[in-house]
Structures are given as C-alpha cells and as structure tokens.
Structure 1
Amino acid sequence: MNSLSYLNHTLEPFPSPELALTDPNGLLAVGGDLQPKRLLNAYYEGIFPWFNAEDPILWWSPDPRAVFIPGTMKASRSLIKYLKKQDWTYSINLAFSQVIEACAAPRTSQNGTWITQGIQDAYTALHELGQAHSIEVWDGNQLIGGLYGLGIGQVFCGESMFHIHTNASKAAMLMLHQHLHTQGFKLIDAQVMNPHLISLGATALKRKDFLILLNRFRDLSVAPNTWEKSEVSLEL
C-alpha cells in the first residue's frame, strides 16, 4: 500500500521506495535532515531530496526513473561542430562550490530555486567527504557551465547543471559521460524524465528495474583516482 512517511532527526531507515505515492509521483517521506549520513543512505536506496525553500524536506523516488548508460549521450552533429569551434577547457572537482552556487542561481523560467543554502551546505559537506563531485567548463578563466552529483559505487547520481554560454551544460554532460565511461561506471541517474533529457538520449526505467540496477552497481569499487581534482580533455 502506498503511503507517506514522516521522518524525525533520528537516523532511521527510509521506507521502501515502492511505497512512494503515485500522486505526486514518487513522494515517499517528509522531514528529517540533510546530514551527510542520511543523504548517503537515501541515494543508496534510490531516494533523493527535492523541495522548495518554504517546504519541509521532501524525499522522492519517482516511477519511472530517467537514466543514462555512460557513453550513450546523443550529441548532434551541430553540437559537435559547435563545440569543436570553442576553445573551452574542462575539469573535475576544481570548482565544486562555484558550480553548485551557479546551479542555485534563479532561472528565467523559474521563481526562486530549490537549491537552497541548506542544500548547498549539505552537498558541499559531501564533496569534502569525497562523495559529491563536479564537472566544470571554462572559457579562459571564466566558469561558463558545469554540473554536480554524487558517486555511489559505479552509479553517478546527477543533481543539477547550469550554463552561461550556449551549449556549455551539454558540454559538461558529454564530459561526464566520457569520464564515467572511461572509469567503468555502469549507470547515471538523472531522476525525473523531461524533454531535454530525452533529447540527450535518456531512458525511462520502471522504478523496480532502476532499483535492481542500483542494487547491482552501488557497492562496486572505482579507481582511487576517479575523482581527483584535475583538468581533462573532451574528445569529440
């Protein structure tokens, strides 16, 4: 039976994602906190927080789930042609705090942001613990695009991306795919399907199928240097 759970500040187990509501799709629990251990427990079980500044903390596990297989992002000929003309450079984990701050900036199509200061602080703490990571796109010394998310074994859980220059967020996604494919990652969790993700090659999985894959890949080890701060090159 689908039901909504209420969490307190004790580090209690999350309810099964299969108990999430169908309307709104995937809402599973309310409350708790954003301490690193709770966040890691959530992602380990296929659950993530998403809420507005005026809301309590809301925890979700939607059905279906948007995913990518690393290396399968669709890059159009026009995008590749455009990127080849740019002198952009790329990096991993060199500017995590700048990336999440840029992701939190209000969008023209939105009122406010769900990436509150509390969210920024929580994921920055995870970054300092070596669990949250960023991809950066640079035009000279200017950060023009990027994304961030969590590494859970050989699964990358994407959270948000931004761009200042046209196609810079798509370039960050391509860089992420290339890097994860090279490092042997098996799955990218993009959470909720939308037309933009579909255009990039995302697949919609039933929640139960996503959880099977997550359970299979979440405890697999990765190379020690996978998330070292470094400059990287995008192969087009």
Structure 2
Amino acid sequence: MVRISLLSVHSPPDAFPDSKYALTEPNGLLAVGGDLEPARLLFAYRNGIFPWYSEGEPILWWSPDPRAVLFPSKMRVSRSLEKTLRRGHLRVTHDQCFSAVIRECALPRDGRGGGRSVGTWITAEMQDAYIRLHELGYARSVECWEGENLVGGLYGVVIGRAFFGESMFSRVRDASKVALVALCRQDYGFIDCQVSSEHLARLGAIDIGRDDFRALLSRYCAMAGAAGRLSG
C-alpha cells in the first residue's frame, strides 16, 4: 500500500519524498501538511511539487505525471487573438500590481480563463504566501489593462529561467491570453502549466513525462534569471 507523507510545520523544507512516489490516483498527490513558508515553497517548485487545496483542507502537495508545459516559442496565437493584439487597446505591464492580480484570480469564475479549476482554491493563506514570494523576487505577475482598468492577468513562481504558472483571469475577451503572449516574450525556457486542459492545449501546451519534466527543472532552474522587478 502506498502511503502519503505527512509533513508538519516543524518538518525541514526539504522533507518531501521523491516525486516518483506521488500517487497515480488522484494523479500526483505526494504529501499532506507542512506550511507555505518561502523555503518550503521554493524547494517544492525546484523539485516539481506545488500546493493545491481548498479552504478547510490541509495543505496538499502535488506532482502529477504527465505534466503540462508550454514552451514559449510554441504558443499558438489564433487569428482572433492576432486581431486583438493588432488593435492595441489592451496595455500590458509586469509586476505592477501583483496583489491585485492574485485577488482577481482567487475570485470564482466560469472556467474559461484558464487555471486549474473553477472556484476559490487560492485561499487567503495562499495569497499571503505568494505575495511574500513576490516581495522576495520569486513570484511575478503580468497585468493587462483596458484604459485604467485591470481586465486580465496572470501570476506564477520564477526560479532561474523557469516560470511556474499558477493562475490567470480575464474580465474582457482575450485579456489573459494577451498577458500570456507577453510572458512568452520574456526569457523563460518553459512555462509549467501543471495539469492539462483543453484551454491550455489550444494555446500550445503539451503533456510530458516526469523524467522529461525533471530534466527541464535541472536545466532551467539552475540558469541565471532576470533578477528583481520587470519594468512595465
């Protein structure tokens, strides 16, 4: 019988089991418990592990196989998105209002904007944890504006030249996709999309096996990335 590892707040940040021991059903569940302190989160992401749980649940840590990834040069830009980009009515900034982006992503939505699931899995505890990572330079946002209104965006964790996407939102058509195009123009080797969906597949994300994903982590997390805040 496969057992899930139990972590406590006193467990060292590197107390996770090897991701190869993650369950196949539910796909990727690896450990339960611990906390969302920066050291634990950064160790987890470097090793292909991320937290995902709902309000009232303990922290659940996942490392699914296969893994959905998007290589920036392979992003598919549809004709309608090309038209939106040519119109130029949506303005993009980077790292200008991270907290606002994560709050928007945490709101219930109908599932059309991407991300892992509909609902409010981005708890207040998770928001605080990723805002702290942002303050330390390890989490970034891309914002999309229509006039002075924030209408779309995304955020994720950055280690070296690896971008670990967490969530995105749209309040007007194509806003999150415009933000993703802007992200793909940055110097990232790959974007971790975690779990596949039809929405992500249409944008060019593909599934790869755990060993291949580990190879990406080894290569790109060790590379020097752009330090500090990106300019708007």
How would you bin the TM-score normalised by the shorter chain? over 0.9
In structure 2, distance between residues paired with 1:61 and 1:48: 7
Q: Which runs of 5+ in 2 are unaligned?
A: 112-116
Letter in 2 for 1:48: F
Question: In the alignment, which residue of structure 1 is the partner of 2:152?
Answer: 145
Aligned pair count?
Answer: 225
**Is the 8 Å Cα contact of residues 11 and 38 (structure 1) preserved in structure 2?**
no
Question: In the alignment, which residue of structure 2 is the partner of 1:119?
Answer: 126
Normalised by the length of structure 2, the TM-score is 0.92
Letter in 2 for 1:197: L
Question: In the alignment, which residue of structure 2 is the partner of 1:46?
Answer: 48
The yes-or-no answer on 1:57 pairing with 2:59 is yes
Letter in 1 for 2:145: W
In structure 1, distance between residues paired with 2:10 and 2:211: 27
In structure 1, distance between residues paired with 2:4 and 2:140: 31
Question: In the alignment, which residue of structure 1 is the partner of 2:231?
Answer: 230
Normalised by the length of structure 1, the TM-score is 0.91
Of stretches 44-53 and 84-93 in structure 1, the one that deviates more from structure 2 is 84-93
- Helix, strand or coil for the counterpart of 2:73? coil
1:78 shift after superposition: 1.9
Question: In the alignment, which residue of structure 2 is the partner of 1:80?
Answer: 82
Question: In the alignment, which residue of structure 2 is the partner of 1:234?
Answer: none
Which of 68, 92, 95 in structure 2 is aligned with 1:93? 95
**Is the 8 Å Cα contact of residues 139 and 158 (structure 2) preserved in structure 1?**
yes
Question: In the alignment, which residue of structure 1 is the partner of 2:211?
Answer: 208
In structure 1, distance between residues paired with 2:17 and 2:109: 33
In structure 1, distance between residues paired with 2:60 and 2:225: 30
Which of 159, 165, 175 in structure 2 is aligned with 1:158? 165
Deviations 1:13-45 (A, max 9, x none): 211000000000000000001111111111011
1:229 shift after superposition: 4.1
1:228 shift after superposition: 2.4
The yes-or-no answer on 1:173 pairing with 2:211 is no
**Is the 8 Å Cα contact of residues 3 and 20 (structure 1) preserved in structure 2?**
no
In structure 2, distance between residues paired with 1:14 and 1:161: 27
Return closer, same or farther for 1:129/1:11 CA change in 2, 3 Å cut-off. Answer: farther
In structure 1, distance between residues paired with 2:160 and 2:66: 22
Q: Percent identity?
A: 50
1:148 shift after superposition: 0.2
Deviations 1:64-105 (A, max 9, x none): 000011222100112101332241111110010000000001
Question: In the alignment, which residue of structure 2 is the partner of 1:5?
Answer: 5
